[in-house]
Structure 1
Amino acid sequence: MDPESDTAPSAPLILLVEDDASVRKALTFALGIEGYRLEVHDSAETLLRQAALPAPACVVLDLNLPGASGLDALAVLRERGLDCPAILITTQPKPPVVAAAAELGVRILEKPLLGDALPSAIRDLISR
């Protein structure tokens, strides 16, 4: 079953950036089941190479990506005028990461992502 094929064109779009293939597949499936449309990238660079970005409801980025980090990518997206809600997923964020995330207005979710933690956080952010 392809979760993306079952979503309506009007469903909220989530930009997902995750380098780990198994995590990326699991998150894609879980968010598709929740009814979201997804644009999925395996690195910050593949996302940032796009000349025109879609208008997402939320951006979900892993912190530790090859090349630019999730925070680096979000900083570039913010400079380009993308001001939608964002979620940074990571394990045990250190104080500088927490401070940088706060400055960029990004919510941190710590791994492991249990239950519906990510879909619930997305629902909370996009309903505001």
Structure 2
Amino acid sequence: MESKSRSANDCGTVVVIDDDVAVRNSLKFTLEVEGFTVRIFADGQELLDDKPLTPSDCLVVDQNLPRMRGLELIAELRRRNNKVPAILITTNPSDAVRRQASAAGVPIVEKPLLNSLLFDAIRRAMPNPPPVN
């Protein structure tokens, strides 16, 4: 039986939205080393103005974004019928944020980020994650 390896295109893209350029670039680098394809954005509006997401993508969204909070961005995407999986990243989330994220089915990974926790959350969220390196 022959097994086919999946290309990066088959695996979807991790879409990172964070207003901190150092966080964006660090996540892009570490996720690419792990085999993920990555797109980065500074805020939610940049993402909304860009090309559409696909069902095999996964969002990694900072809660404390300018113009639109992370959970607001996820809600807006869902209002637009884009059900892409999402992970919220934030420092010290309030009880209200935890409740809202839970109600929306969005896991939270707290900053400072532990790469292994984030990678595991992304692999669980994506329908076709790339193989583990």
TM-score, normalised on structure 1? 0.86
- Kindly provide the CA deviation profile for residues 26-63 of structure 1, in whole angstroms up to 9, marking residues without a partner as x: 1000111111111210011101123x512042111000
Q: Which ranges in structure 2 are unaligned for 5 or more consecutive residues? A: 1-6, 129-133
In structure 2, give the amino acid aligned to 1:101.
A
Query: Which structure: larger Rg?
Result: 2
Higher relative contact order (CA 8 A, sep 6+): 2
Deviation for aligned residue 1:122:
0.5
Pairwise CA RMSD of aligned residues? Answer: 1.8
Deviation for aligned residue 1:114:
1.6
Q: Distance in 2 between matches of 1:9 and 1:85?
A: 17
Give the alignment of 1:1-128 within 5 angstroms.
8-50=8-50, 52-55=51-54, 56-126=56-126
TM-score, normalised on structure 2? 0.83
- 2:124 is paired with a residue whose SS is helix
CA contact (8 A) 2:28 2:39 kept: no
Q: Percent same amino acid at aligned positions? A: 38
- 2:89 is paired with a residue whose SS is strand
Match of 2:4 in 1: none
Q: How many pairs does the alignment contain? A: 121
- 2:14 is paired with a residue whose SS is strand
